[in-house]
Structure 1
Amino acid sequence: MDRLWLAVVVGVLQGVFEWLPVSSEGNIAIYLTAVEGLPPSAATEFALFLHAGTAMAATAYYRDEIAGLLRRLPEWRPSAPSATPEVTFLGVATLASGVVGIAAYATLEELFPVLAGGAFIVLIGVLLVATGLLQRLADARLGSREEPTLSDAVLVGVLQGLAILPGVSRSGTTVSALILRGYDAEASFRLSFLLSIPAAAGAGLLVLADGVPTLSPTAAAVAVAVSAVVGYLTIDALLRVVERVAFWAVCLGLGTLAVVGGLLTAL
């Protein structure tokens, strides 16, 4: 894939969709499969690779919070992890998401040969619907917890690892899980997006290890750069939008359309 215009288009889509709980990977993979004709494996790898750009954007946006966490890192002690709860949460959740994410990615690669065209789009649609239902369950829940626990870290890390599957929204599932665990929306979004930085960078590196076969080096650089710039410029506004819009319904709608479209394609 050497078309630079396409790299720009998907970079913009990633820079916007990453902050919305609608699965940027799933929607970009649908576009690349249904419109550009890429096979499911190539579409998924390309969509995952773009997370490297939005990881840069999130790092820049949360630079003060990251600096504060790094200053607290020397205070962390294995014997007293609760003394630095956020450091412990981010470390344990990142480890859990890495283990689960690698296993999920390996499983997905095994399934690609049987996920031709329509079946792949149907799978994404089903996972989008599941994401929407989880968000609906968490909708309007009120909480006041502030310090995450070890069990929170494991739960959220596992869910984030599963978000490597196209159609599972990383932010939608992790934020919903934190809300259901008793955190308010603001704290849930903050923890979720801080956690997204190592996960997004890891997803990009995981695909890069396979050589990103669908991209020329120039197109890869352009796509990542565009997603980073657009992501940084849109994150603040879009996070405010997420607090006001019922994205669980958006997920259900997109998922239903994907299922119907995938079934029609398969017929």
Structure 2
Amino acid sequence: MWNRTLVVALVAGILQGIFEWPPIFSEGNLVLFLTAMGENPAIAVQFVLFLHAGTAISATVYYRDDVARIFRSIPNLRSGSAFRSGSAGHDTAELSFLAVATVVSGVIGIASYRTLGAMVSELAGGTFVALVGMLLVATGILLKTADGFELRNRESSTLTDALLVGALQGIAILPGISRSGTTTSVLLFRSFDGVSAFRLSFLLSIPVALGAGALSLLDAGIPAIALSSTLVAVLASAVIGYLSIDGLLRVVERVTFWGVCIGLGTVAVLGGLIVAM
């Protein structure tokens, strides 16, 4: 006899691995899936945050050379040269960008997480689904706006880039707001090309995803799903996440992600409102 909890966890891990990278929401679609499977919204949110540990592993392995190179630049980090332009300061600038954006994301993300906990405990199931849908639509609108921006193909990041990306990424802990979509959109607004924007977003996902998993673990312990099922889900998200990164980079300029967000978000809003009635 098949174990329903194990199967649901496995599917959730696979979905996390696929949808962590494209700017079409991660927390939102998984929360909706787990809620549809009968899971309590609060437990669903906690489980989804915990699954970020898997995709953090996949991004670290995929970008292992970049991660090693950035860590080697730590001794070269000096006051006043953190965001220095030019090839000599490129690694240092990336390290500074990741560090500043991660700290800002952590501060704002913790506040957003606390707000999320209060929201989930107060909202009924259908209302919560409708709220997630509205956040998905907002993400789609942001992506559509960024899609029409004229690019100047910047490569070096600045302190302003780090502060903006970090602040909006902290808010993206809310289900329905795509972390990848938000960060890449901000970088597109800041005149990075698509490939560079996604690369920085992927690198930034590593410390942030580990932080999200740790925050969930410290706040509520291991998710209220069987330990074996949780481990299977994390492993699945790591393996599938690694395989999906390369695929996304190949189609980054071919798929209209904003349309997917708005379409599925609208369906979620309508469905949630019907359930809430």
TM-score, normalization by structure 2: 0.93
Runs of 5+ unmatched residues, structure 2: 85-91
**Aligned-residue offset at 1:59:** 0.4
1:133 and 1:205, CA in 2 relative to 1: closer, same or farther beyond 3 A?
same
Paired residues of 1:49 and 1:203 also in contact (CA < 8 A) = yes
Q: Which residue of 2 aligns with 1:264?
A: 274
What SS does the aligned partner of 1:154 have?
helix
Aligned counterpart for 1:26 among listed residues 25, 28, 49:
28
Aligned residue runs from structure 1 range 55-66, under 5 A: 55-66=56-67
Aligned counterpart for 1:251 among listed residues 253, 261, 265:
261
Q: Which residue of 2 aligns with 1:115?
A: 123
Paired residues of 1:21 and 1:170 also in contact (CA < 8 A) = yes
What SS does the aligned partner of 2:73 have?
helix
The one-letter code sitting in structure 1 at the alignment partner of 2:119 is L
Separation in structure 1 between the aligned mates of residue 184 and residue 74 of structure 2, nearest angstrom? 24
Separation in structure 1 between the aligned mates of residue 156 and residue 244 of structure 2, nearest angstrom? 28
Matched, 1:208 2:217: yes
Separation in structure 2 between the aligned mates of residue 50 and residue 242 of structure 1, nearest angstrom? 24
Greater shift in the superposed pair: 255-264 or 144-153: 144-153
Aligned residues: 266
Aligned residue runs from structure 1 range 13-92, under 5 A: 13-33=15-35, 35-83=36-84, 84-92=92-100
Runs of 5+ unmatched residues, structure 1: none
Paired residues of 1:104 and 1:164 also in contact (CA < 8 A) = yes
Matched, 1:146 2:155: yes
Separation in structure 1 between the aligned mates of residue 16 and residue 52 of structure 2, nearest angstrom? 7
The one-letter code sitting in structure 1 at the alignment partner of 2:37 is E
Matched, 1:167 2:176: yes
Separation in structure 2 between the aligned mates of residue 71 and residue 207 of structure 1, nearest angstrom? 30
TM-score, normalization by structure 1: 0.96
Separation in structure 2 between the aligned mates of residue 2 and residue 123 of structure 1, nearest angstrom? 28
**Aligned-residue offset at 1:161:** 0.7
Q: Identity of paired residues, percent?
A: 56
Matched, 1:95 2:103: yes
The one-letter code sitting in structure 1 at the alignment partner of 2:117 is E
**Aligned-residue offset at 1:171:** 0.6
Paired residues of 1:12 and 1:230 also in contact (CA < 8 A) = yes
Paired residues of 1:122 and 1:263 also in contact (CA < 8 A) = yes
Paired residues of 1:7 and 1:222 also in contact (CA < 8 A) = yes
Aligned counterpart for 1:227 among listed residues 237, 244, 257:
237
Aligned counterpart for 2:132 among listed residues 124, 136, 142:
124
Paired residues of 2:50 and 2:223 also in contact (CA < 8 A) = no
Separation in structure 2 between the aligned mates of residue 151 and residue 219 of structure 1, nearest angstrom? 41
Aligned counterpart for 1:177 among listed residues 167, 177, 186:
186
**Aligned-residue offset at 1:80:** 2.3
Separation in structure 2 between the aligned mates of residue 91 and residue 213 of structure 1, nearest angstrom? 28
Greater shift in the superposed pair: 82-91 or 122-131: 82-91
The runs of at least 4 consecutive aligned structure 1 residues that moved more than 3 Å come to none
The one-letter code sitting in structure 1 at the alignment partner of 2:98 is L
Separation in structure 1 between the aligned mates of residue 7 and residue 38 of structure 2, nearest angstrom? 16
Separation in structure 2 between the aligned mates of residue 213 and residue 182 of structure 1, nearest angstrom? 40
Separation in structure 2 between the aligned mates of residue 82 and residue 36 of structure 1, nearest angstrom? 47
**Aligned-residue offset at 1:192:** 0.8
Separation in structure 2 between the aligned mates of residue 67 and residue 167 of structure 1, nearest angstrom? 32
Aligned counterpart for 1:190 among listed residues 196, 199, 202:
199
**Aligned-residue offset at 1:2:** 7.7
